[in-house]
Amino acid sequence: MKILNLLSKFTLLVALAFNFHFSLSAQSVEEGKALYNANCTACHAINDKVVGPALKDVHKRREEAWLIKWIKNSQALIKSGDATAVQVYKENNEALMTSFENLSDNEVKSIIAYIKAESEAPAAAATAAVASTPSAGATSGEASSSDWNTAINWMLFVIAIILVLIISTVSKILGRIGDIQGKPIINWNKTNSILLMAFLIIGMGAAFWEFAAHSKHTVFSSGPASEHGGEYDNMFMITLILTGIVFVITQVLLFWYGFKYKADGKHKALYYPDNHKIELLWTVIPAVVLTVLVIRGLMTWNAMMYKKDEKARNIEIYAYQFGWNARYAGVDNKLGAHNFREQGKMNALGVDTNDVNAYDDVITNELHLEVNQPVDLAFRAKDVIHSALLPHFRVQMNVVPGLPTRFAFTPTVTTAEMRKKLNKPEFDYVLLCNKICGGAHYRMKMKVVVDTKADYEKWIKSQKVLVNKNTSSSQAVALN
């Protein structure tokens, strides 16, 4: 009896231990997924080569301890002479991998756990696909939905080709009959005039429907999230209304005159070799309107670009194919110097670690901003021209290698407030690249969070500074 009790207790402990291990493993994978999406997707994919190599089964090819060192600081591992690191570096055309020293060992392990889970997922999917494959004697009704979709698409394509051929043939036959009878069977002038009016009505109706149906899906529907955004939106709407009025008037007149003055012998258009009054009107009026718009835009641009605010927080945005990094100034609100010759030597961003102002800098893969706090964003690029687009803040600035650019603005709506306003709990602000900068351009984005003052201070205190306060200058260079 005692033996049975012991066995039952032992079995219960094993079950609990297994369940605990499974829960920890699942939690690790979920955490790894979030970290992978935030840090790795700009350059890597599981099954495909993007900028870096495909990561499938990397846990089988490399030891975990080596992977942790490589992910946290690949450049240091290469410089140490590690044979595997040097080989990987050369195999990938000596492209420098971003260092992630801000990640803990456990966080890196979570990323590896997620890669492992994703690497095994395709095999399971393939097995399921084989199991569900119809047998040789299966009927056509058991074909997969994708096969049916392909067949339908081909049928539609063939039908379209047949219709074009039929219309072309009928047109030729009617033309030949008209030639025999000495008069056209179809009055093409009248037909084309009717088609012009139909195109005007349908096209104009479609344009207004597009505005009504999809304008709510644009960033303008949520309103601006920055101090200057209201002025920006106001200028945009004035320009859109003015050009919209001109568009409607000119298109209506264009198609109406085509309909009215068809060659039917009833209406004849008047011919003016020149009319100085009309030419003066349509030259002077647009010139005056455009001058007012341009001057107002220039004044607004100067107010945003050249406004100096001593209280503005200094943040540097660093662009590379295909990702972003943010570098925050420390308590001194001074960013350390940048030296492009240091890129890939001491750190991926080229921060000059000989500059004491760099010691308290913070490097992150997310952009956190404090609501109602002015921010001065400085932009740098490592490789090609990028374009930093913060759509909800109405900010866009080219990011040019060797030519630092900047933009200052004040965020006015926190992420939590915008989620509540849009009724979208999953909403996040984003920083996008608005230049086609390469094959993985579509992946190049960074999460932007607008915090309250308390939340921002809590977050920034939780980040690691570039160099520990107790580290000497000579040691600092070695660490980075």
One digit per residue, the tens of pLDDT, for the chain of length 480 reads 444 344 344 444 444 444 444 444 555 777 878 788 777 876 788 877 766 788 888 878 888 888 888 888 887 788 788 888 888 877 776 666 777 776 788 888 888 888 888 888 755 444 443 334 444 344 444 445 556 777 888 899 999 999 999 988 988 888 888 888 877 777 778 888 899 999 999 999 999 999 889 888 888 888 999 999 999 999 999 999 999 999 999 999 999 988 888 877 777 778 878 888 889 998 999 999 999 999 999 988 888 777 777 788 989 999 988 889 999 988 878 888 877 766 655 566 778 777 788 888 888 889 999 999 999 999 999 889 999 999 999 999 999 998 899 989 999 999 999 999 999 999 999 999 999 988 888 888 999 999 999 999 999 988 888 776 544 433 333 333
Upstream peptide bond of 322 is cis (omega within 30 degrees of 0): yes
Sheet holding 405-409: strands in order across? 362-364, 323-328, 313-320, 375-381, 405-409
Q: What is the CATH number of domain 313-479?
A: 2.60.40.420
CA angle 30, 34, 36 (to 5 degrees): 110
What kind and span of H or E run contains 323?
A: strand 323-328
Alpha-carbon distance of 414 to 454, in angstroms, equals 12
Q: Is the pTM of this model over 0.75?
A: no
Could you confirm whether domain 23-126 is CATH 1.10.760.10?
yes
**CA dihedral in degrees (330, 336, 342, 347; nearest 10)?**
0
Q: Two tokens at 41?
A: 């997707």
Q: Which residues contact 432 (CB under 8 A, 6 or more apart)?
A: 388, 389, 390, 391, 444, 445
Rg of the chain on CA atoms, in Å: 32
Beta strands 375-381 and 313-320, pairing class: parallel
* Domain ranges, ordered by start, for the chain: 23-126, 152-184, 187-269, 313-479
